[in-house]
Amino acid sequence: MMNFPQQPGPIGVFDSGYGGLTVLHGIRQLLPQYDYMYLGDNARAPYGSRSFEVVYQFTRQAVLKLFSMGCHLVILGCNTASAKALRTIQQRDLPMLDPSRRVLGIIRPTAETIGNL
């Protein structure tokens, strides 16, 4: 198990580029009482055409970086990372890294919101 800071810290938001800034803006509007950290992987964007394994590795690296910076919750603002890497990180990595931390995606909440319109 990795050692990360134990104090709840900021909410981390990750995207492979700049699109997640829109996600961050929306979250900040709803939850202004929290601090946030944004990590954009512009150097390796776009993720869309990359394999599952590559997207998983890149996303895992970003999640670990945000965890190491004190985030206990990381939101994947990237559709590709949410689709390809989220479930594996949640099911395989989090139990070994720190079961008290959370990684969430944006696809399911977006689909549920659209379905309720």
At 58-106, the pLDDT tens digits run 999 999 999 999 999 999 999 999 999 999 999 999 999 999 999 999 8
- Report the pLDDT averaged over residues 29-44: 94
Q: Which domain holds residue 24?
A: 11-115
- Which alpha helices (H) appear in the chain, and where do they start and end? 20-30, 52-68, 79-84, 86-88, 94-97, 107-115
In the prediction, which pLDDT does 5 show? 47
Contact in structure between 64 and 93 (CB atoms under 8 Å): no
Residue 47 has pLDDT above 70, yes or no: yes
Q: What number is the average pLDDT over the span 15-36?
A: 91
Specify if 109 maps to a domain. Answer: yes
In a domain, 4, yes or no: no
Q: Where residue 18 falls among pLDDT bands split at 50, 70, 90? A: confident
Domain membership flag for residue 3: no
> Does the pLDDT of residue 4 top 70, yes or no?
no
In a domain, 54, yes or no: yes
pTM for this prediction: 0.85
Provide the CATH number for the domain around residue 31: 3.40.50.1860
CA angle 101, 23, 47 (to 5 degrees): 80
The reply to whether 57 falls in a domain is: yes
Q: Is residue 1 part of a domain?
A: no
Domain count, the chain: 1
